[in-house]
Amino acid sequence: EKGGWPSFMAKEVAEEPEAVANTIRGRVRDGAVVIPELDGLDDLFTGINRIIITACGTASYAGLVGKYALEHWARIPVDVELAHEFRYRDPVIGADTLVVSISQSGETMDTLMAVKYARERGARTLSICNTQGATIPRESDAVVYTHAGPEVAVASTKAFVAQITALLLLGLHVGRVRGSLEDGAASVAELEALPAKLAHVLESEQGHVAQLAGWMADTRSVLFLGRHVGYPIALEGALKLKEISYIHAEGFAAGELKHGPIALIEPGQPVFVIVPSPRHSALIHAKVVSNIQEIRARGARVIVVAEEGDAAVLPFADEVIRIPLAGAFFEPILAVIPLQIFAMALATAKGLDVDQPRNLAKSVTVE
């Protein structure tokens, strides 16, 4: 039931702090991440030399954030592959490979086939899933559930932030097991601070972002730029907009701009830019600020998602959406919220059914 919310999507976005808190609960012990479902399965992480993350759509973007975090904390090579590409291209996998699948429903046929394929070739398999007892976890050697609760709206929102949370937990768990994790306690503190920060973004930016969407209801195309873990968030922001507001949208790695996409910039073109915190890397931050200058000089209408207190973006931004300070791998969970709200508000402004977009099903159970 919608419980007074105008749509399931609105309700599910509002439930994000809870989805993240529930996914963390029971998985932190003495200041370290210990995932009880993985007890006795250390070999899954020590007996391998690479990880392939496989998923479709939004889940694959969560996977991309997971790649950056896992490589950093667990020092193991990670690739992310769309399940339908992985399954049909004769990949090199075997007993030294852990295939991590991500699926909200646990029933996505493309992802299921990728998991089966990996198993048949001797790879180990772990699934991250939101639906207890679904087919994909049953076909996997291990499962880490996200506890986002049932997601009804076709557009994935709370499941996405829960998937990133589960991947961060997995990264910290695997990093500890493999002995490569430094300063795990600080990351645990970051994790535990997330739900309150999510609630803060929802409270402080909802009205502002909805207003922006109202102004932009006639927009024909929106671009999203991000770098590092902001890149998958740019992809996700674009997918949300395509999916429910039927507006052409594209997400790019900000560094790609001069390799092509900057030709798209003409006066008035709306561009969202996810700006990473300068506290994590002054260099990455400076590069993104310089991208903002480049597109602004060509007339783009720049909407920036930046950390509170980041003043460097102010001279070049038409709109600034603020998110609280958070660790590098934790920022994407906060940065995606305004983009979800934007897509939802724009669809609403266009009079569309945000929960049931045309041509789409919640769970894609055919290949």
Task: Using alpha carbons, list the distances in angstroms from residue 354 to 2, 11, 177.
Answer: 13, 12, 42
| 363 is a site residue for ligand M6R (CB under 6 A) | yes
Distance CA 68, CA 44 (A): 20
Distance CA 220, CA 247 (A): 6
Distance CA 189, CA 304 (A): 27
Applying CB under 6 A, the span of 85-93, 149-157, 170-178, 202-210 interacting with ligand M6R comes to 149-157
| 348 is a site residue for ligand M6R (CB under 6 A) | no
Our CB check for ligand M6R shows the closer of 118 and 239 to be 239
CB of 154 to ligand M6R, least distance (A): 5
| 340 is a site residue for ligand M6R (CB under 6 A) | no
| 125 is a site residue for ligand M6R (CB under 6 A) | no
Nearest C-alpha neighbor of 22 from the set 154, 175, 172, 169: 169
| 59 is a site residue for ligand M6R (CB under 6 A) | yes
Distance CA 310, CA 325 (A): 10
Applying CB under 6 A, the span of 56-64, 65-73, 278-286, 343-351 interacting with ligand M6R comes to 56-64
DSSP 91: -
| 57 is a site residue for ligand M6R (CB under 6 A) | yes
362 catalytically annotated: yes
| 56 is a site residue for ligand M6R (CB under 6 A) | yes
CB of 362 to ligand M6R, least distance (A): 7
Our CB check for ligand M6R shows the closer of 158 and 296 to be 158
Residues 337 and 6 sit within 8 Å (Cβ to Cβ): no
User: What strands, in cross-sheet order, belong to the sheet with 124-129?
Assistant: 78-82, 50-55, 97-103, 124-129, 142-145
Residues 100 and 128 sit within 8 Å (Cβ to Cβ): yes
Our CB check for ligand M6R shows the closer of 5 and 294 to be 5
CB atoms within 10 A of CB 92: 9
Distance CA 233, CA 226 (A): 7
- Site residues for ligand M6R, 154-213, by CB under 6 A, read 154-156
CB of 131 to ligand M6R, least distance (A): 8
| 219 is a site residue for ligand M6R (CB under 6 A) | no
Residue entry with tokens 């070049």 = 316
Distance CA 353, CA 36 (A): 40
- Site residues for ligand M6R, 221-250, by CB under 6 A, read 239, 243
Distance CA 223, CA 269 (A): 8
CB atoms within 10 A of CB 269: 18
Q: Which of 116, 242, 287, 362 is catalytic?
A: 362
Binding mask 87-116 for ligand M6R (x = CB under 6 A): ----------------xxx--x--x-----
The residue number whose beta carbon is nearest to ligand M6R equals 57
Our CB check for ligand M6R shows the closer of 155 and 302 to be 155
Catalytic residue annotation:
362
Interface contacts to ligand M6R, rule CB under 6 A: 56-59, 103-105, 108, 111, 154-156, 239, 243, 363-364
